[in-house]
Structure 1
């Protein structure tokens, strides 16, 4: 399976094209739209979320509610494009050089992108580097979640930390199937909504100071059978693929699996998970490895934590330098959020769902859902009788 996303933040829309997705999966737009709506949630979002109401538009590869096995094209149209038609027009006759952005913002792709591609207008970079791109990935990730659900695999997330504010309740404290339902009730996706008022005050105080907040979220994947990924090839290791793809999420600066960096501080007896055999299957007494050993799933829940830096667009901007005059200025301010960590957790779910789907298709092959399900059932029987 391969996929690409395309589109700009204020262009006509965001798009995903997927090759290698099997035929015969039942797909409902409402299911994908629910995930797109979740991406727009979270206290601390900016004005853009008041303009957009993201929904998916199937442009190819789906007919009468089922995938065809041919390339799938998904679109999420930008409502805000109507306000940017001239600025984002493809034709040269609409060019407005007097409106070029020449002041790169610290912490963004602005300056590096201009230097890399020899561009003189920062907008040529920021439109694509914007996290608005993730709307396409969430739409595709929702499709992958639908695929995984047919095998009993769920992908859920919640916030551990928002800036300095930490919620002590974690995924181990609630039933696996209730994680998202509980987190979605919180304005910042904590697992304890009693922290919401403190979170609201914290975000408001940060907004008033012209500053922004980062945080940490955790993704938990239940139901993945042992053996997904590979120990023999560096580029097929499950943890490596999860880390690479999660690091591709805008503003992410760290990814941990299981105990993560905590493994460096204690002896091996407090790191590794003892193996037992119960009720006809291999299992672990603990899950410090986060469900991944040797680059493969081990049958335990997969646990990944992701650290997202504060959004670099500050309403009290840092100093920068004009790329044309080379004179110092305060950085340009684009419309932005105070924090987008709650939304990032939803995007993290989508990214993980895409990775697991890719490796499931690699493992079980097949051009149709029925063929893949036969292969999967055979593998599960192999494990059961091992």
Structure 2
């Protein structure tokens, strides 16, 4: 499986084309739009979420609610495009228009791709960079992830996420009886946190940052239950599934770190408190007494829940802008301001879910016969039985 996305933040639409889905998998627009709606929630989101009410149209690859096995094309229109047609239009400019383009950007913003992208591609107007490097692109990444989640849930694999830290406020209580309870609690929380005390403190921290013209980051956790053991590979570095998930998490805008299970805490513990003892019983087969390694050993799934966390830095677009330098005059200026959020950690949890879901679905399609969804489901079921009886 693979996908590409196209589109600019203020362009007419965002597009993704997904290749490699099995034929005969149930898929309707509602499966995707539910996830897009989740991405737009969260205390601390900016004005863009009031403008865009994201919905996806399935333009190809699905007929009568089932995938065809051919590429699936999804489109999300930008409602704000009507205000940007002259600024972001595709047609060449007339000679008398070249010096009249509005909202040119020559002042790179610290923490963004502006300056590096301009150097790489030779753009003197850095809007050419920021329009694509914007986190708006994660809209269709979530759309692609929604398709992957549909594949996973249809195979009995469930995924959820929650926020465990925002702006230094940590969730002390992370208790939930089941993944369905976690989902229920986080969907009702403005910051996707299961700790009601921390939730209020997180919201206050976001409000304080906004009032101060600042932004804050945090940590999200993604949990997956139901993945069969032995998915991935120990044979080559680029086939290790945890490595692919780590790359996917860090590829999300503003994410700067990732860990599995107890993660970096493993550096401070002896091996006896890090590794997971193997046990066996007739009903479940091989399981682990603990899950400190977060569901992975040797680049492969262990069958235990996958637990992966990502750290998101504060959004660098500040209403109290940082110092920068104009690339035309080389004079110091306060960095340009684009519409932004004071905190997008709750929404980033949904994006992280999608990133993890995509890598898991892709690994399953790679490891098992996947031209037909019914055959894929049969193979995964047979493999689970084989692993239990091994």
Structure 1 length normalisation: TM-score? 0.97
Give 4+ residue runs of structure 1 displaced > 2 Å after superposition. 93-99, 192-201
Q: Residue 277 of structure 1 aligns to a residue in which SS?
A: strand
Residue deviations 1:315-370 (CA, integer Å, cap 9, x gap): 11110000111110000000000000000000000011100000000111221111
Name the CA distance, whole Å, in 1 between partners of 2:384 and 2:287: 15
User: Of residues 374, 382, 387 in structure 2, which corresponds to 1:383?
Assistant: 387
Name the CA distance, whole Å, in 2 between partners of 1:326 and 1:222: 53
Aligned to 2:247: 244
Aligned to 2:186: 183
Aligned to 1:19: 19
Aligned to 1:9: 9
* Offset, 1:97: 3.7
Matches within 5 A, 1:18-97: 18-93=18-93, 96-97=100-101
Aligned to 2:230: 227
* Offset, 1:174: 3.2
Name the CA distance, whole Å, in 2 between partners of 1:249 and 1:366: 27
Name the CA distance, whole Å, in 1 between partners of 2:258 and 2:220: 10
Matches within 5 A, 1:252-271: 252-271=255-274
Ranges in structure 1 where 5+ consecutive residues have no aligned partner: none
Matches within 5 A, 1:229-378: 229-280=232-283, 281-378=285-382
Ranges in structure 2 where 5+ consecutive residues have no aligned partner: none
Name the CA distance, whole Å, in 1 between partners of 2:384 and 2:305: 17
Name the CA distance, whole Å, in 2 between partners of 1:135 and 1:382: 39
Name the CA distance, whole Å, in 1 between partners of 2:293 and 2:135: 30
User: Contact 1:186–1:192 at 8 Å: present in 2 too?
Assistant: no
User: Contact 2:216–2:343 at 8 Å: present in 1 too?
Assistant: yes
* Offset, 1:98: 5.5
Name the CA distance, whole Å, in 1 between partners of 2:103 and 2:164: 41
* Offset, 1:239: 0.8
User: Contact 2:6–2:16 at 8 Å: present in 1 too?
Assistant: yes
Q: Which moved more, 1:85-94 or 1:257-266?
A: 85-94
Residue 97 of structure 2 is aligned to residue 102 of structure 1: no
Name the CA distance, whole Å, in 2 between partners of 1:365 and 1:310: 42
Residue 211 of structure 2 is aligned to residue 205 of structure 1: no
Name the CA distance, whole Å, in 1 between partners of 2:102 and 2:388: 68
User: Of residues 113, 118, 129 in structure 2, which corresponds to 1:114?
Assistant: 118
Name the CA distance, whole Å, in 2 between partners of 1:90 and 1:7: 12
Structure 2 length normalisation: TM-score? 0.96
User: Contact 2:215–2:342 at 8 Å: present in 1 too?
Assistant: yes
Residue deviations 1:5-24 (CA, integer Å, cap 9, x gap): 11110001111111111110
Q: Which moved more, 1:187-196 or 1:337-346?
A: 187-196
